């Protein structure tokens, strides 16, 4: 099958986290379809390509256009920031392909990427070495009551919790509900606030507490639509040099030399 459509995960912001596999796909393709902001960030990798871009809320249009280019026989890439399967374009592309029954006409190749959740975690130590949950607070496509239920369940189960899309200028209620959930016994949890991860000039990562988030409510200067929040679990702690550590449990069972501790 000659007609290829790549879903290219570009990783956390900028070009630092894009994989060699994704770079190769961009080199191979004739057409690139992208959200305008991501296309600007990848400009150096898109030289000489036919480019189709659009703004926020035009995701369906971009997906349809990328599929159409592929049906026409053009090797096409549609760009998805972070990982295409983490609030990215993979789900919509697959859904449209299935609705139109195009599986015999287009070869779909989805390429993974480094999410801002993982990129931020790598910069602050080892906060995500136990089970974790990732939840988006955007209620544009998900019912707010379900979001609230998921947040409560993740906190109750002591997951390390990653929060995407915490709030925007008009969408604040899901974030306020999240803060109220933190007030139910989770105030002392370590919180990591990471904004513009991978975008070197704008990137800012702060290690603080859930209480700090609660105290500053919707006015917290570090929290916006471009922010990722990580709420650590009950075992997480700060290292001697101020990094975040969520122990996996090795040193509960073994000595530093690797031998089993006496039972």
Query: What pLDDT digit, counting tens, does each position of 169-184 carry?
Result: 889 999 999 999 999 9
Contact 100, 106 (CB under 8 A): no
Average pLDDT over every residue of 66-84: 96
Average pLDDT over every residue of 153-174: 96
Tokens 């379809």 -> residue:
33
Q: What is the pLDDT of residues 76-116, one digit of tens each?
A: 999 999 999 999 999 999 999 999 999 999 999 999 999 99
Q: Could you give the CA distance from residue 2 to residue 6 in angstroms, rounded to a whole number?
A: 12
Q: What is the largest CA-CA distance in the chain?
A: 68
Q: Looking at the domain 3-114, which fold is it?
A: Cobalt-precorrin-4 Transmethylase; domain 1 (3.40.1010)
Domain limits, CATH 3.30.950.10, in the chain? 117-245
Average pLDDT over every residue of 157-168: 96
Q: What is the pLDDT of residues 198-241, one digit of tens each?
A: 998 899 999 999 999 999 999 999 999 889 999 999 999 999 99
Q: What is the pLDDT of residue 118?
A: 96
Contact 11, 114 (CB under 8 A): yes
pLDDT at 2 over 80: no
Q: Could you give the CA distance from residue 173 to residue 180 in angstroms, rounded to a whole number?
A: 10
Contact 56, 36 (CB under 8 A): no
Q: Could you give the CA distance from residue 198 to residue 152 in angstroms, rounded to a whole number?
A: 30
Whole-model pTM: value is: 0.93
- CATH superfamily, domain 117-245, is Tetrapyrrole methylase, C-terminal domain (3.30.950.10)
Average pLDDT over every residue of 108-125: 96
Q: What is the pLDDT of residue 263?
A: 62
Domain limits, CATH 3.40.1010.10, in the chain? 3-114
Question: What percentage of the chain has pLDDT greater than the value 90?
Answer: 88
């Amino acid at each position: 099958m000659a007609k290829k459509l790549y879903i290219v995960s570009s990783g956390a912001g900028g070009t630092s986290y894009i994989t060699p596999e994704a770079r190769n796909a961009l080199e191979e393709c004739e057409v690139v379809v992208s959200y305008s902001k991501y296309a600007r960030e990848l400009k150096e990798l898109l030289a000489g390509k036919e480019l189709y871009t659009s703004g926020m809320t035009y995701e369906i249009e971009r997906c349809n256009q990328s599929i159409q280019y592929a049906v026409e026989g053009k090797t096409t890439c549609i760009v998805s920031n972070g990982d295409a399967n983490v609030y990215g374009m993979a789900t919509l592309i697959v859904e449209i392909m299935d609705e139109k029954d195009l599986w015999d006409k287009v070869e779909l190749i989805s390429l993974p990427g480094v999410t801002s959740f993982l990129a931020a975690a790598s910069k602050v130590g080892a906060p995500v070495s136990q089970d974790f949950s990732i939840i988006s607070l955007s209620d544009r496509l998900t019912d707010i009551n379900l979001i609230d239920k998921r947040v409560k369940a993740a906190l109750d189960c002591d997951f390390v919790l990653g929060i995407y899309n915490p709030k925007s200028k008009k969408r604040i209620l899901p974030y306020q509900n999240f803060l109220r959930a933190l007030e139910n016994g989770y105030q002392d949890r370590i919180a990591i606030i990471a904004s513009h991860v991978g975008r070197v000039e704008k990137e800012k990562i702060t290690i603080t507490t859930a209480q700090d988030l609660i105290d500053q409510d919707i006015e917290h200067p570090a929290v916006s639509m471009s922010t990722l929040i990580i709420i650590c679990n009950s075992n997480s702690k700060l290292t001697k040099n101020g990094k975040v550590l969520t122990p996996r449990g090795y040193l509960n069972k073994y000595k530093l030399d690797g031998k089993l501790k006496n039972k």
